[in-house]
Amino acid sequence: MTICFIGNSFKYETEAVMKLFLPLVTFEFLFEEAAHSGDICTVSRCKSENGHTLSVSVTLDGKTESENLLADGEYCDKTDEAELCRMLYRIMRKLTGITPAWGCLTGIRPVKKVNKLLEDGLDKAQIFDTLKKEYYVSDEKLKLAYQTAIAQAEPLKALDKRSYSLYISVPFCPSRCSYCSFVSHSIESPGAKKLLPQYTEKLCEEIAETAAIASELDLRLDTIYIGGGTPTTLSAEQLEAVMGAVKKNFDISKIREYTVEAGRSDTITEKKLEVIRNFGATRISVNPQTMNDSVLKAIGRRHTANDVIDAFRTARRLGFDNINMDTIAGLPTDTPEGFRHTIETLCGLDPESITIHTLTVKRSSALFQQEEKSVDSRIGEMVSFGQKKLLETGYLPYYLYRQKNTVENLENVGFAKAGYECLYNIYIMEEAQTILAVGAAGSTKLVNTETGKIERLFNYKFPYEYISRYDKMMEKKDGITEFFNNI
């Protein structure tokens, strides 16, 4: 589809609104008027006698809809762009018959908007009113975002500008899942497997050097998250080396949370769980994604739903009292009934938190091999059922983010029992705390909590690069010192 911009270049937001309705369509952008043939959208802004005129016109599948609006005064990019997006949204809603539940709110962090309005002193009714008027957000999603913001209020209040979280990246997995879009290396490949000892060594080195920088700057370690990949792809000895390096170099006696994403049950052993517990972790994840064996097989997992239950029970027996379980709605070959079974089985296990992710439609549509719209409604049905069931069971939403390029930008939501909200997840989603990241693909996020200024430093993405160019990468760490010396 061609999108033409006249008197403006609001490409980013226009495309984001269009993608809510046409997630699989590729757009061509022109910054001039184009001949009218086929599917076309024109977004224009031009001066008029008493102000300026905003217009949007869309032709889709032979049908055309348009809106015009006379705006007062001079151009204002911010308000003009927002108005044009609302006009485009109304037109696309009419032409496609789709009403996205998040309206035209396209950002990946909708809770940030609610948090900002709460900070401005608005009450619940005023917040709902504002977001409905500005973005056409549905009551269901407003409620979800508001509940999430309320759950985050306390954890967000407790932050100071010298506190930080430590993220440790282990981008290896026992095999690659068919839907994976992460930088993770399957150790089925002999090359990747061979890297593990060297990787562990370099990771321990980086942990020690990062601890020295943080100590020099008098920063206070608040939470730790070992993620991936699947960190338990490491052997018990390698895990012990990494967690031992953390214990040796950081003071973990005052941290509030220490998570290890144990992840896939085909990597979880009693010995590894003992290491995780003995080195101070307070929270683990056992992530089934689905409790249907046929779906596990379809996504390339080498374990069964019973293996997940066994891993969960072993963790409980060893004393883990804060366990998270991740699920994904829309996995290949899954159905609403299958997803219902997953959620009900997990509720039966009674973990402290359950996360519902949504697979992007791009991937799932190819997998379902059905019409775009029907994929959307099946995933939407799974998500709605899951969220409702978790709320009824006593879990509350505490972090939420959305993905681009999904119909309606469906959300991923972490649910937890009261008091078991993962602080690290809240801080990373709300960009509220500095995160010092170590390991390949780690991304350090430096946050000035007073001004909101954020800077990022990236480690090399791939393990072989991380190992071979380690010294060069470490030169970037000066950025941490510079950032904190300036606040």
Would you tell me which residues interact with ligand SF4 (CB under 6 A)?
173, 176-177, 180, 182, 184, 228-230, 263-264
Q: Which is nearer to ligand SF4, 60 or 173 (CB)?
A: 173
Smallest distance, ligand SF4 to C-beta of residue 51, A: 51
Give buried/exposed letters for 20-53 (b at 16+ CB in 10 A, else e): bbbbeeeeeeeeeeeeeeeebbbbbbeeeeeebb
Smallest distance, ligand SF4 to C-beta of residue 183, A: 9
What is the residue-wise DSSP string for 294-363?
Answer: HHHHHTT-S--HHHHHHHHHHHHHTT---EEEEEEET-TT--HHHHHHHHHHHHHH--SEEEEEE--HHH
CB distance 428 to 400 below 8 Å: no
Smallest distance, ligand SF4 to C-beta of residue 257, A: 21
CA distances, 134 to each of 89, 127, 129, 388 (Å): 11, 11, 9, 26
Q: Which is nearer to ligand SF4, 228 or 386 (CB)?
A: 228
User: 206: closest CA among 250, 266, 263?
Assistant: 250
Q: What whole-number distance in Å separates Cα of residue 63 and Cα of residue 40?
A: 10
CB distance 162 to 149 below 8 Å: no
Q: Which is nearer to ligand SF4, 28 or 188 (CB)?
A: 188
The pair of structure tokens assigned to 393 is 């069971």
The separation between CA 209 and the C-alpha centre of its own chain, rounded to angstroms, equals: 28
Residue entry with tokens 């997840």: 425
Q: What whole-number distance in Å separates Cα of residue 254 and Cα of residue 396?
A: 27
Smallest distance, ligand SF4 to C-beta of residue 360, A: 13
Smallest distance, ligand SF4 to C-beta of residue 180, A: 3
Smallest distance, ligand SF4 to C-beta of residue 264, A: 5
Q: Which is nearer to ligand SF4, 93 or 357 (CB)?
A: 357
Q: Which is nearer to ligand SF4, 58 or 323 (CB)?
A: 323
Q: What whole-number distance in Å separates Cα of residue 8 and Cα of residue 56?
A: 12
The secondary structure of residue 181, as a DSSP letter, is -
Q: What whole-number distance in Å separates Cα of residue 458 and Cα of residue 97?
A: 42
Smallest distance, ligand SF4 to C-beta of residue 372, A: 23
Smallest distance, ligand SF4 to C-beta of residue 359, A: 10
Residue 111, classed as helix, strand or coil, is: helix
Q: Which is nearer to ligand SF4, 206 or 261 (CB)?
A: 261
Smallest distance, ligand SF4 to C-beta of residue 185, A: 9
Smallest distance, ligand SF4 to C-beta of residue 172, A: 8
Q: Which is nearer to ligand SF4, 137 or 173 (CB)?
A: 173
CB distance 210 to 168 below 8 Å: no
The separation between CA 208 and the C-alpha centre of its own chain, rounded to angstroms, equals: 28
Q: What whole-number distance in Å separates Cα of residue 444 and Cα of residue 457?
A: 5
Q: Which is nearer to ligand SF4, 152 or 289 (CB)?
A: 289
CB distance 422 to 399 below 8 Å: yes
Q: Which is nearer to ligand SF4, 230 or 444 (CB)?
A: 230
Number of Cβ within a 10 Å radius of residue 319: 9
Q: Which is nearer to ligand SF4, 71 or 298 (CB)?
A: 298
